Every structure is written in C-alpha cells, then in structure tokens.
Amino acid sequence: MKILVADDDSISRTLMQRTLQKFGYEVILAENGRMAAEILSRSDGPRLALIDWMMPELDGPDLCREVRGFHREGEYVYVVLLTSKQSNEDIVAGLEAGADDYITKPCHPAELRARLHTGCRILSLEEKLVHARDEMLYKATHDALTEIWNRASILSLMKSELERSFRDDAPISILLCDVDHFKRVNDDHGHLVGDLVLQEVAQRLTLAVRSHDAVGRYGGEEFLILLSDCDDSALESRSESLRAAIAATPIAAGRQKLSISVSIGAATCRHWEPGIPIERILDRADTALYRAKAEGRNRTGLAGELTAAWSGS
C-alpha cells in the first residue's frame, strides 16, 4: 500500500521512509503541507498518510481539514498525525481537525506499525462496503438476465432525458423493440434458448447504439431504447440500423443457429414539458410497434415527431 510521509525535516523523512519500506509500504514524500495536500488530492494519491504536526505552508491540523474537503469518491484517506505535543487539548484539536489517529515522537517502530495496520484494516473494510454498495446498486438497476437497464431504471432515464431535452431544446427519440415470434422460440427450443436469444439481442442493441444512448428491458421480449439528440429526420435510419443489427446474423444457441428479428415502434419528441406523463409518448411508440408487426414484422413503424402542442393536448 502507498503511504504519504509529510515532514519538513529531511532527516526525519529519510528515517521514516526507511522504516516504512521495511514494513512493506510504498513511500511517497512531501516536504511541506501544501505539497502533501496536492499529492493527496490526486485520484491515484495515497490513502494512508503520516503527517507531521509542525510544517510550513500548512501544518498538520490545517492539512487534515483540507484533506477532509477533498472529493475522492469511495476513497477515504486515513491520516495519522505525528506530533511531539502530548496535552489532551492538542490531541483533541488534531482529531477534531480530521486526523484519524496520532502518534507521539519519538515513536516506537512496533507502535507505528500497529497503528498503521489499524488504518489499513479500516481502509480495507471501506473498500468492501463500497463494493457491496455498488453491487447492490447494480442489481437494483439492471435486469438480471440481460444485464442492461431494468424497466424501472430505463423509465427513470427516459424521464430525465425528456427533461434534459426540454431544457436544451434538443430532440430525443424513443424506440420500443419487440422480438418477433418469441413465443415460438420458447415453444420450439425451450426457455433456456429463449434466454440466450434475449441476452444476445440485448448485447447487439447495446453495441449498436452510441455510448450516451440507453437500452433497457421494458418487459418480457420488449426493449426500450433512448436515442438522445436524434430528430425525426435521422430516426428511420437509426431504427433500421438497430433492426439490421439483430436480423443480419443468426443467433447461435448451442448447435442451432436461429434467425431472429425485431419489430420497432419509434417516435421522436421535442419540447416535452416536465410534468406531462411519459406514457403518452410510450403509447405512440407502442402504436407504431403494433403497426410494424401488423405489416409483417422485422420492420420499423414511425410515429412521427411529437410536439409540445400534441403532448399538452
């Protein structure tokens, strides 16, 4: 683990560096508080710091306060103050400034090692908690089968994108995609093959859109796609490229290769005023999808552009 040693005395820095290297730490040195603050503010900066109380530019407590003002997402910096001050008032002042622990000079190597080991345990625990939080968030927002946005998340994103579209006076296109004859796939080949088909369709759709677009599982074999900054003139070509991404190559399911296609209902929206139910645009896209399926499937049905006048009616 990397550790920062901040001390304005070069001899003390060198001695501490040698001691910590024997403990197995990768040591980074700073000769004053301002240099230490700059190092600790970096995204890849050390998460463990041993800082002297008395330093030029920023002393130990001031450095602690500055460190606590940093925003390093999920990366807490554990700070140990190195001090010759031994009064209760000074110790309390250092801890209230943001230090996690302190050790008085001259420090015994065994005590130093034990206190730093405590810091490492706390940082390890934080990493586990952050990982668990991220995993729970992912499971709450993503579909378990296809690993794309789930229904609640894609609808929430749709609402946010419509509001952004209104603020920026930019168009957004909504696509509802339905896997053609999916019931037949399940009936003829089994649900495991059906799951493989849904996973592959989700992956192909995700690869076919831009990084700032969004693909979610709307329900069953239906997918909802948000194309930001896509107006009515570009909608048909964008929809057709998505349709072709599915139909162009059969999907391998074990020894079988299945020809799969999707039908798409697409609508572009502009000036969607906040507060207007998103179900209105979803209904328009769904109607266009129904028309595409009625006309033979494996095609796109266009609902046209929805304006503020329509959405408010």
Is residue 146 in a domain?
no
Q: Looking at the predicted structure, is the pLDDT value of residue 169 above 70? A: yes
Number of domains in the chain: 2
Give 306's pLDDT tier (boundaries 50, 70, 90): low
Contact between 266 and 230 under an 8 Å Cβ cutoff? The reply is no
Query: Which residues form the domain of 67?
Result: 2-140
Kindly provide the b/e burial profile for residues 236-274, where b requires at least 16 CB atoms within 10 angstroms of the residue's own CB: eebbeebbebbbeeebebeeeebebbbbbbbbbbbbbee
Choose one of 100, 117, 140: the last residue of a domain.
140
Q: Which of 221, 222, 240, 279 is catalytic?
A: 221
Give 90's pLDDT tier (boundaries 50, 70, 90): confident
Q: Looking at the predicted structure, is the pLDDT value of residue 282 above 50? A: yes
Do 43 and 168 belong to one domain?
no
pLDDT value at residue 313: 41
Do 41 and 183 belong to one domain?
no
Which residues face 269 on adjacent strands? 172, 306
Do 207 and 283 belong to one domain?
yes
Please state whether the predicted TM-score (pTM) of the whole model is above 0.95.
Answer: no
Question: Which residue, among 299, 310, 283, 189, has the nearest Cα to 242 in the 3D structure?
Answer: 299
Q: What letter represents residue 280's amino acid?
A: R
pLDDT in tens, 214-245: 999 999 999 999 999 998 889 999 999 999 99
The backbone torsions φ and ψ at residue 212, rounded to the nearest 5 degrees and listed phi first, read: -95, 5
Q: What CATH number does residue 206 fall under?
A: 3.30.70.270
Annotation marks residue 66 as catalytic: no
Do 160 and 300 belong to one domain?
yes
Instruction: Kindly state the average pLDDT of the residues 105-133.
Output: 92
